[in-house]
Amino acid sequence: MEIDFSDDEITGMNCTCPYCQDEGYDCKHMVAVILALINPNFKEIDVKKLVESASDEQRTQFLQKVLENNYSLALQFKTLIEESV
């Protein structure tokens, strides 16, 4: 993972993960590095661990809240459920 700076401007980023190399997208590694630069207290969240540690009720409530506020995610979830029926 590389970031090129000139003064305070980011002039280039390069990451070796497949997401960046194959698709040319900005990946979560880049986001994590930038967030860490902006906020020294930033820690990457272990999503898998976090989700596993939540109760069923917490997961359900949170998912509901997120999907109510995000049409695109709600649509993705709907597709997922409908495909698995």
- C-alpha 27/C-alpha 3 separation (Å) is 13
Q: What is the largest CA-CA distance in the chain?
A: 54
Rule CB under 5 A: is residue 67 a binding residue for Zn ion? no
Rule CB under 5 A: is residue 3 a binding residue for Zn ion? no
CB of 29 to Zn ion, least distance (A): 3
Q: Which of residues 7-66 bind Zn ion (CB under 5 A)?
A: 15, 17, 20, 27, 29
CA distances from 16 to 24, 25, 33 (A): 11, 11, 14
Q: Where does this chain bind Zn ion (CB under 5 A)?
A: 15, 17, 20, 27, 29
